[in-house]
Every structure is written in structure tokens, then in C-alpha cells.
Amino acid sequence: MHRIVSATVHPALRLILLALALCLSVTANAEEPDVRTTWRLLDYIAVDYASAVSEGSVADEFEYREMVEFSDVVARQIAALPDTKDNQALIRRSDQLRALIANKEPAERVGRLARALAASLLTAYPVPLAPSQAPDLDRARTLFAQNCASCHGAAGSAPPAAMQALDPPPIDFTDIDRARQRSAFGLYQVITQGLEGTSMASFASLSDEDRWALAFHAGSIAFEDVAKGERIWREDDGIRQLVPDLETLAALTPESLAEQIGEDRALAVIAYLRANPDAVGQANDAGSLAFVRDTLDRSLSAYRAGNREEARQLALSAYLDGFEPLEALLATRDGGLMREVEQALGQFRAGIESGADPSELQQLRARIDSLLARAEGALAPEAASEISTFLGAFTILLREGIEALLVVIAMIAFVKKSQRSEVLPYIHGGWIAALFAGVATWVVATYFVSISGASREMTEGIGALLAAVILVSVGIWMHGKSQAEEWRRYIQEKMGKALSRGSAWFLFGLAFVVVYREAFETILFYAALWNPQSSGIILAGALSAVALLALIAWAMLRYSRKLPITQFFRYSAILIAILAVILAGKGVGAFQEAGVLSATFIAGLPRLAELGFFPTVETIGAQLLTLLALIAGFRVSRSPSGPQPAAVEG
């Protein structure tokens, strides 16, 4: 497992050995051994050229002659391959690589071309690139101790003194600069064929599964942040899509992944995947009911084995990575069933948190399985009718829009009643900006990064709690202004000064927060519902909801103009207080679903998500605290000498 560098024997003898190895490979099937040998030489060039040439000058004469020789061999090997539609393009690129090396071009340029040529070679002449199943890393550690530790050291980083005298010495697998350029497939090739002219022998006598296991283990030694990599892998669906299968993982170098997701994240993800290659197979089913079932089974097994934290993480993944992506679509087909599944998954997580008896979790697991069977029927393509699609699009936008509309209309009516219509642009600017931000979120989530289930829940939770806090303040202030007609003078005379000191921007912020939260959730629902074949029906449902929302807004504004100002403030305060209580429950519920807060379920209580009422001690407690804060605030605000909230006073 040494890297290929200057020979441990005379240079001429090394070239003879290399030529002999290449000649022997020609006698085999050209479509497999020759392609693999050529790929391996390209991999060597990509990794080792930097030590041969520096800033246009030869840094190591023998290394450089080796690079020239290897590029010549690559060109000859490619020219000898069977003709395909890609053969001539490969020949041209191999000639280009040979010219770059002859001209001592920068290592970055040579490495980029060598890797691109290697990838194109495997596309044109496919050879097995990955193990048939996830390698057994436990066995790999035993194999490493038996076959590799004598040269590389037990940890792969400290070769014994006798081996350090070799030229070159055995590779240090903790060398991060070299490790970031190596794929597991490249290591597998070295383990299988050995390295000509070095003490690295072929281990072709090992089974294919064992060689792959050794490759993954050796390739994982330099990367340490497994926990961070696991967190990134679980939370970012975009990264899971970049590595959809074992073949992709085996061919992937940390360097190429870093170009797509950044250095720190790439090294952490590689650390996790090379140490846990079975995670890639699990990711294939993410966002599916099969993933939910499999992950719950693994969670239950971990719990029975006493690994409660692992069981908790797996149960959370079953919801966030498996069910949550399907939640929006199921809600449009069968909202009641969606809530049942969501609550059952929450109870499963709560059982793990509370240390429930494994038999209880097994019973709950069986109940979840029956619910998932029903969900499969509801999610089947044939279950989608035109009327259900229309109603789904209609109710989603109407439900999410009503919440935001009530707050925005109350603010518009408020400034009109206060004869401060010049600040209306701030309110309109807030909700319009929120809509644009929602569209931008959709674009980013669709084309650039994937918003994970945990991130979605956290965004919704933060938005809900922030809006609830603001609404408590606004509700208390409005209730204080509902006592008597004398407050009309306060509004007419003092609001001008108050708004000029920044409360107009406060109104902008409130409109933005409330509308963005609902826009964010609406976009997620529509993304799940969207189907090109049903696009017309979906748009019709959305436009119908917009029309009804506009009618409701017009009626509310018209009715509010007829109300005496004290009654307007009283009713508005009550409405905003109700919304604050609802949002407090929704915010805490979202944090529970993201796994940030624990959930203590109360048996026998219904789940009313639209009202923010979830049957847990934590959500009910948050709503009660919000209600108590409002009651206390209403009492204090009844006194003309009571405090005036900063939200209005600027």
C-alpha cells in the first residue's frame, strides 16, 4: 500500500519490472486489466506529479522521468484499446496529458486532466468500480493488523524502524494531503495489483470483499471527524444525492467532493462514509416509507442493545429523512392519517427518551407499520384524482395564508384607524419582501442546496416563536388602547412621533416574519405536491385560494372601518392573542419534531396542528405560559399609567 515514488531498486530495473507487468497485463482481457492498469497510472500521475515538478522546474529528476514514462504508457494503452465512439477523444486527451507533462505544466492542471481522463476512460470501458455490498470494516481492521501493520504500523501512521529505511518508506495513511486525492477504488487497485518496483506486494489472494474492506479502512485513517460527517450526511439531502451509491463513493476523492461542498464538510463526510459505507445504501431509500420501516427497526435493535443515543438518532432520522419529505403530499391526500403517523413517530421517540420497556416500543412499532401500510395506499399514484389535487392545492394556500392574512390586515387597519396611512408602504413592503424571500428559498432549495428535514422544522419553529413573542407585545398594547375614547387623542397626536422613531420598521419586520413563515411552509407543501401532469389543476387550486384570501381581506378591511376604534382595538387584541397562543404551540412542536426538544405525550388528548395544539406537556406548557403572559399584560395595560410597550413607542 505504498505510494508509487522513486524505486527501491535501480531505476533501470524498475522500468524493466514495470514493462514486464504491463506486458503480462496485455495477455489478459484488454477491456478489464488494461483499463484498470491505465486508470491506476492516471491516478498515480494525478497524485504524484506535484512532487516531480514545482513552478515549471523539475523538483525530483527520477520522479519526473517516471511521470514522462507513465504518460507514454497511458497513451499507448489507450490507443491499443478496442475502438469505440469515445476512443479518439481519449487518445487526444492522453496526447494532451503527455504534452503537459513534457512542458512541466502546473500540477493542478496536470492533475485535473489526469482525473478527467481516468473518469472518461471508465465511462467508455466500464469495469467493476465498487464492492457488491458495503465492506465489513470490523473485518478490515483485523485484516490490516494481519497483513499491513508490519509495514505501516498498527495505526497506519508509524512504520516500524526497519521499514523507514526503505526508499521510499511505507506510506503514512494519516498524510491528509495525499489522502484527499485518493479514492477507495485507487486503493483497491493498489491492494489488488501491488506496486511495481516497491515492497508493496499484490494481495490478489485475498477475496474481493476483503480487498475492498481494506481499501475503505486504509482510506479512512486520515479522516477523523466522523460525528460531524454523520450530522451533515443526515441533514443534507443534497449531499446524499451527490453520493447515491457505493460505486460513486468508491470512485470519489475527497478533493473532488470538496470542490462541490467545501473542504471542511467534504473531509467530514468522507470520514463518515468510508467508516460507514453502509450509510450510502440506506440513503437510497431516504424520503420513503421503506426507509422509515428500516430505520425504525434499526432504532429498536439499538435500543434493545442498550445504545439509547443511537436509537434516538435513528428514530429521529426515520421521521426527518424518511417520513417528513412525504408529509406534505400525504397531508393533501389524507390529512388525518398524516397526523396519526406523525404523532406515532413522535411517541416512538418519546418512548426512547423516557426509557420505555422494549416491548412497549415493539407494540408502537407494529402500530406504525399498520399506519404506513395505509399511507402507502394514500400515496400511490392512482390515489391522486383531479379533485383531490385541486383541493390539496386550494386548502394548503388557504390554510397557511389565513394565519398571515389576519396579522397583516390587523396592522393595515390599525394604521388606517390611526390616520397614519403614510406608513402603509412599510407593511406592504414587509409582506411583499417575505414572498420574494419565499421564492428565493425555493430556488436555493431546488437548484443549489437541499434543505434538510431538521432545518425545515427549525426554520418553522424559530419563525413561529419569534412571531408569537412579537404578537404578545402587540396584543397587550392593543388591549390597552381599547379602554376608552380618550385613547383616540393618544393615537392621533403621539403615533406620529412614535412611528417616526422606528416603529414603522417594526411593522415591516412583523409583516415579514409572519408572512415568510407561512410562505416557507407553503412552498414546501407545493414542492411535494407538484407534478407536471397536474400543473394546471394545482395552479387552479392556488389561484382559487388567492381569490378567496383577497375576498376575506377586503371584507375584514371594510368591516374594520365601521367599528369604533375602541372596539377595533379590543377585537384585534383578542385575535392577535389567539394567534400568539397558536404560534407558541407550533413553534415548540416544530422544535420537538426537529429533535431539539423532548416530547412528553399526554394520552387521550387530540392533536390539532392547525391550532398549534399538540398532546405534549411541553407544547401545552408553552401555550399556557403565553396565555398567562397575555392575561397579565392585559391587566397591567388597563391602567392608563401602565407601561407602554416598546413595540409601538418606537
Measured in whole angstroms, the distance separating CA 280 from the mean position of its chain's CA atoms is 14
Whether residue 140 has pLDDT greater than 70 = yes
Mean pLDDT is lowest, of 50-59, 118-127, 497-506, for: 497-506
| Three cell numbers written together for 192 | 489488488
Q: What's the whole-number average pLDDT of the chain?
A: 75
- Residue 455 CB contacts under 8 Å (≥ 6 apart), including other chains: 235
Give which of 31, 602, 136 is closest to 346, Cα–Cα: 602
pLDDT digits (tens, 9 = 90+) for 288-304: 777 888 888 888 888 88
- Long-range CB contacts (within 8 A, 24+) of 601-608: 601/346, 601/347, 601/350, 607/339, 607/342, 607/343
Q: What is the pLDDT of residue 21?
A: 42
527 neighbors 446 (Cβ within 8 angstroms): yes
| Three cell numbers written together for 486 | 380618550
Mean pLDDT is lowest, of 358-362, 437-441, 643-647, for: 643-647
Q: Which H or E run includes 58? A: strand 57-58
pLDDT digits (tens, 9 = 90+) for 207-264: 888 888 888 888 888 888 888 888 788 767 678 777 877 777 887 888 888 888 888 8
Tell me what the mean pLDDT of segment 67-96 comes to.
86
* 27-53 CB burial, b ≥16 within 10 A, e <16: eeeeeebbbbbbbbbbbbbbbbbbbbb
Q: Exposed, middle or buried, 381 (CB in 10 Å: 0-12/13-18/19+)?
A: exposed
Q: What is the pLDDT of residue 412?
A: 81
Whether residue 446 has pLDDT greater than 80 = no
| C-alpha distance across the termini of the chain, in Å | 69
Q: What is the pLDDT of residue 171?
A: 75
Q: What is the distance between the alpha carbons of residues 69 and 219, in angstroms, rounded to a whole number?
A: 27
* Residue 22: pLDDT band with limits 50, 70, 90: very low
* Residue 562: pLDDT band with limits 50, 70, 90: low
Whether residue 365 has pLDDT greater than 80 = yes
160 neighbors 150 (Cβ within 8 angstroms): yes
* Residue 198: pLDDT band with limits 50, 70, 90: low
Whether residue 12 has pLDDT greater than 50 = no
Measured in whole angstroms, the distance separating CA 519 from the mean position of its chain's CA atoms is 20
Q: What is the pLDDT of residue 99?
A: 92
Under DSSP, is residue 384 helix (H, G, I), strand (E, B) or coil?
coil
* Residue 1: pLDDT band with limits 50, 70, 90: very low
Q: HSE of 456 in the Cβ direction (CA atoms, 13 Å)?
A: 26
Q: What is the distance between the alpha carbons of residues 91 and 86, in angstroms, rounded to a whole number?
A: 9
* Residue 26: pLDDT band with limits 50, 70, 90: very low
How large a percentage of the chain has pLDDT more than 70?
73
pLDDT digits (tens, 9 = 90+) for 391-427: 777 877 887 788 778 778 877 877 776 667 777 888 8
* Residue 624: pLDDT band with limits 50, 70, 90: very high
The widest CA-to-CA distance across the chain, in whole angstroms, is: 105
71 neighbors 96 (Cβ within 8 angstroms): no
583 neighbors 468 (Cβ within 8 angstroms): yes
Top mean-pLDDT range of 249-253, 474-478, 626-630: 626-630
| Three cell numbers written together for 230 | 454523520
CA distances from 183 to 57, 143, 145, 218, 317 (A): 28, 20, 22, 10, 28
pLDDT digits (tens, 9 = 90+) for 160-186: 666 666 666 777 777 888 888 888 887
Q: What is the distance between the alpha carbons of residues 309 and 490, in angstroms, rounded to a whole number?
A: 57
Q: Are strands 57-58 and 53-54 parallel, antiparallel or unpaired?
A: antiparallel
| Three cell numbers written together for 529 | 405536491
Give which of 2, 107, 4 is closest to 62, Cα–Cα: 4
* Residue 459: pLDDT band with limits 50, 70, 90: low
Q: Give backbone dihedrals phi and psi of 420, rounded to 5 degrees, phi first.
A: -120, 50
Number of residues in the chain: 650
* Residue 644: pLDDT band with limits 50, 70, 90: very low
Q: Is the peptide bond before 606 cis (omega within 30 degrees of 0)?
A: no
pLDDT digits (tens, 9 = 90+) for 505-527: 777 877 887 788 778 777 766 76
**Is 18 or 131 the better-scoring residue by pLDDT?**
131
Strand partners of residue 57: 54
Q: What is the distance between the alpha carbons of residues 405 and 431, in angstroms, rounded to a whole number?
A: 10
Q: What is the pLDDT of residue 559?
A: 76
Q: Using N-to-C axis directions, what is the helix angle for 453-480 and 504-529, rounded to 10°? A: 140
